[in-house]
Structure 1
Amino acid sequence: MSVEGFAAGGYEAVREALQRLVDDGSETGAGLSVWREGHEVVRLNAGWADTGRSRPWRSDTLVQPFSLSKAFVTIAALVAVREGALALDEPIANYWSEYGVRGKERTTLRHVLTHRAGQPRFTAGAADLDLLDDSGLRKDLAQAAPEYAPGAALGEHALTYGHLVDGILRAGAGTTLGDVFNDVVRPALSLDAWFGVPDQALDRVADLEYADPNWPRQLHAAPWLEIPAGALDTGRVNSRAWRQSVFGAVNLHTTATAMAAFFSHLTDEDGPVRHLLGPQLHTELLTSQVTDYDEVFGTEITWTLGFVRDKGKIAKGGIGGSVAWWSLRHHHACAYLTRRLDDHSRAAEIAAALGDDLTVMRED
C-alpha cells in the first residue's frame, strides 16, 4: 500500500523511510507529521486504521500512544498549580489526607511528576480490581507503602501516573484529570486529543494490534504493567468502554498532526503552553529535574516535569512504538503514532531521516 499525504521539498527521505516500513511489513497503520517554523511540512498516512483493513489511515485518525499521554497529565496538574490549588513542593497529604501514610507523608507533586514518588506500579492487592475501577485503584495507591523512599530513586510510574495526579486533583482542586484536560488544556492548546473519546469521534479511533503475539511478555517494562490486568490486552483497549474512559498514564487518543503541532510550540516564548502555564511553570516544565537510572526504561534518563530530555531533544514516547519530540538541534517537531505494537525501531528510522537520534526512547 502506498503512503498517502505530502512531504515538502527537502523531506523526501522521510516519505521514503515510511514507505520502506510499509513495504517490508514493519508498519500496518501509522500517522507521521513534521512541523517546522509553525507549519506542517510533512503529513503522511500509512496503512490501515482497523484490524480488518477496511479503513485506510487518515490524517484525522486517532490512536492511543500509551505513555505519550503522561505529558498531558503533567500539564493538567500544572494548570492546578498555576491556579493556586496545588503546589509542586507541598506534601500531597496536605490535600489528600488518606494518602499520607506508610512513608508517603512527605511525598510531593514534584516527586510524582518526575517519577520519584516510589509508586511505579499498583500493588499486588489491586490484582483483582478491574482496569476501569478508578476509585479502587486510587485507594490502592493511597493505602500502599512506596517501593522506595520518595525522591530516593527513579522509575517511570507506568500505569499509576494518571491515577496519582487524578487523586491529587480531586482532593486539592475539587476537580478531575479528565475535566481539567478536556475543559481547560485541550481547548487552550487547540488539541485534537481526548481523555474519553466523545461519541462523535469514536469512528476515527484506530484498532491496536500486536506485531508479535508475545510482545506484551517481551517488554522490559512488563513487570510494571501487569496489575491491573488488561492494559496491554488489545481486546480490552480496543473496546468502547476503554476508549471513553480516563486512564491518564496511557489512554489519551490523538493524531500525529496534533502531537507534532503541540511539540512544535512547546518551547515557544509566546506559545500556547507558556500562555497556559505562565513563564515560571513553563520553565519548570522544560527544565531537567533529575538524571538517574530509570528501572522501567532500563537505562539512565533525564526527566523534566513530564518529558524526557537530552542534548538533542525534548520527547515522550510510549510502549508500542509511538513517539513525539522537539529537536533542539534542528528546530523541528515530529510525531510518529502507530497502532502496530512493537519496538521503537520504526520511529528511529524516521528520526534518522530527519537527522535526529531517539536512542534514549527505550520503553520496551
Structure 2
Amino acid sequence: MERRKIIHVDMDAFYASVEQRDNPRLRGRPVVVAWRGSRSVVCAASYEARKFGIHSAMPSSRAERLCPEAIFIPPDFHRYRNVSRQVRDILLRHTDRIEPLSLDEAYLDVTENKTGLPTATRVAKVIRQQIREELQLTASAGVAPNKFLAKIASDWKKPDGLFVIQPEEVDEFLLPLPVGRIPGVGKVMQKRLEEVGVRTVGHLRGLELSFLEDRFGRYGVRLYDLARGIDNRPVMTDQPTKSISAEDTFERDMTLDEMEPVVRRLAEKVWAAACKDPRQARTVVLKLKTPEFKILTRSYTLAWPLATCDELARIALRLRERVGLGDRQRFRLAGVGLSNFRGPEEMPEQPALFGA
C-alpha cells in the first residue's frame, strides 16, 4: 500500500484575520468576533486578544472582562464564506482530494499532486505562499503520513507555521506528547487515563489492547492505534458534516434541573463550531446517559435557521421536558448537538421562535 502524504491546512484566527485585513485600523489590536451580550459567545479572537486568555466559544461577557479594550466585531459569515471559497480555489490547484472540516481548515491528500511538485512539504509551502500573496492572510500547515498526525502538526508552529512529521520521525515526535494532545481526549478522558498511570502517548502505548478495550470500549481500540501513529482514515472528498455535537461526563451524577449550566456551556461549544459551517442545521438534539449507561436522545426540528446561541440553548433545555423519567432521575452525561444541515438556499425565512 502506497504511503499517504497528507496536509492539514488551518487558517490562522480566520474570522478575526479577515476583519484585520479588511480594516487597517484593527491590525495589531485585540479583535474579538462576537455579538455583545450576556448570552453571546466568541466566534474568533485575534492573536492579540488571545494573549489575554480569550478563545472561541468563551462567553462574550467574560471576554470583555479579560480584555476591556478589546474591539468587538459582529460576525459577517457571508464574507467569511467568500474568503473560504477563495482559499479552496487555491487548494484545488494542487489536488482534488480535499476534505473541508470547516470554513477555515481542510485535509488534503497530495500523495499525487496536480502541479508536479516533488514533495508534500513543497506543496504545503507553495499553498501557504499563495494564500499570503493572493489573499493577504496566513495559514499554518502540518504535513504527515496520516490525518491524525497532520492535524497535530498544523498546530505545532501556529500562527503562520509549517511543521513536517516524516514517517521515520513519528515515534520520536509522538511518544513524549501529553496524552491530552490526542483528538477526543478531553479533560474527563484525560483524568481517567491518568488514573491508570497514563500521562504521555508513550505511557499509553505501553497498555495492552485488551485492557484499553475493556476499559474504554471502542474508543480504547482507537487509542491503541493512535498511540502507534496509526490512522487509516482516507481524505473524504466533499463529505458534508452530518452533525456537530459536544458532550460532558459529570464528576457526579446530576438531575435534569441541575444540568442547566452544563447544557448552556455545551450549546456554546456547538454554536461556535456550527458558525464555521456554511450550511445551517435544522435539528437540535439533547443526549443523556444514565448511571446504568442507558442512552436517551430527544430532538426538535425547526422550520427555520437558528439565529443565536441562546436560541440553541433554550431549545436544548426545553427538550429536557420530553425525557419523562421523573425529577429524581440522575444522569452521568449530557450532550448537545445539531444535525439535518441544509444550504442557505434550502432554508425559509425565519419567523418568531415557537412559544415561550
| TM interval, short-chain normalised | under 0.3
Flag the structure with more relative contact order, 1 or 2, with Cα contacts below 8 A and sequence separation at least 6: 1
Structure with bigger strand share is 2
* TM-score, with structure 2 as normaliser: 0.26
TM-score of the pair, normalised by structure 1:
0.26
Indicate the structure (1 or 2) with the bigger Cα radius of gyration.
2
